[in-house]
């Protein structure tokens, strides 16, 4: 059950000086930081991190955007030029790649029991407007798909966290070499394991 997961503090988190506030939440829950670095990602790394070939991922972004438009009573074609989830996902993904290659990102590998699920819970809903108070996105951002899309930019939701253990393994290998990932004990391991 001990898992590793990738977290990226995106440029909006870094530029707003929220690194300490966010990392504190992972440390206090008992997750172990086993790798950490500030990187300005290359276009190649960003393209691999948000893979265009993973249809369900690109379409998933488009579907969430469409749901949001529906809730707001906005016509997707007049707003973003399409009503096709894959086409919309591609546009939003392009904005994401541009954003994460424009400024530094703090990349972190966290380790612990059920780390993937615990991190997603602390991070909260993709859309900060819907994220519960107490979650990172709920506490530090008010952004919404409607607001972001109207400005032709990605949602400023501060953080990326791997969605499942397979994604975590792939993403960790993209961002870190094996010797950048450390092995040590945290004091909780004596009490909690
Ligand atoms: P997704 O994988 O659906 O969410 P999560 O980050 O919670 O796993 O989407 C990836 C990123 O795409 C998300 O963090 C922010 C961005 N995004 C937008 O910029 N606009 C949008 O309308 C949506 C749905 C996502």
pLDDT tens digits, one per residue of 99-158: 999 999 999 999 999 999 999 999 999 999 999 999 999 999 999 887 898 899 999 999
* Closest of 154, 139, 131, 107 to residue 7, by C-alpha: 107
Ligand 1 geometric centre to CA of 175 (Å): 19
Residue 9's closest CA among 164, 1, 24?
A: 24
For range 73-88, the mean pLDDT: 93
Residue bearing the CA closest to ligand 1, atom 3:
61
Q: Which residues, other chains included, contact 168 with Cβ-Cβ below 8 Å and sequence gap of 6+?
A: 3, 4, 5, 6, 115, 116, 162
DSSP E strand boundaries for 100-154? 105-113
119 lines ligand 1 (CB under 6 A): no
Containing H/E element for 159? Answer: strand 159-161
Q: Look up the pTM and report it.
A: 0.95
Give the pLDDT confidence of 182-193 residue by residue, as tens digits.
Answer: 999 999 899 998
The conformation of residue 154, written as its DSSP 8-state character, comes to -
- Asked which of 26-35, 64-73, 165-174, 175-184 is least confident by mean pLDDT, the reply is 64-73
Of 48, 41, 182, which is closest to residue 106 (Cα–Cα)?
41
Superfamily of domain 2-177: Nucleoside diphosphate kinase-like domain (3.30.70.141)
**What pairs with residue 37 in β-bridges?**
107
The helix (run of H) or strand (run of E) holding residue 22 is helix 19-29
Res 146: pLDDT: 79
């Amino acid at each position: 059950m001990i898992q590793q997961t990738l977290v990226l503090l995106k440029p909006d988190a870094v530029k707003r000086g929220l690194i300490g506030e966010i990392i504190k939440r992972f440390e206090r829950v008992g997750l172990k930081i086993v790798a950490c670095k500030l990187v300005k990602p290359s276009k190649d790394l960003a393209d691999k991190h948000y893979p265009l070939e993973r249809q369900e991922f690109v379409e998933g972004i488009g579907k969430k955007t469409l749901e949001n438009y529906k809730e707001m009573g906005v016509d997707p074609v007049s707003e973003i030029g399409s009503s096709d989830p894959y086409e919309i996902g591609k546009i939003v993904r392009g904005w994401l790649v541009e954003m994460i290659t424009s400024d530094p990102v703090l990349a972190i590998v966290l380790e612990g029991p059920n780390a993937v699920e615990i991190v997603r819970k602390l991070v909260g809903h993709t859309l900060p407007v819907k994220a519960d108070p107490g979650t990172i996105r709920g506490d530090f951002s008010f952004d919404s798909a409607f607001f972001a899309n109207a400005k032709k930019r990605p949602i400023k939701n501060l953080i990326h966290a791997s969605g499942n253990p397979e994604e975590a393994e792939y993403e960790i290998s993209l961002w870190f070499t094996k010797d950048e990932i450390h092995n040590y004990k945290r004091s909780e391991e004596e009490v909690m394991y």
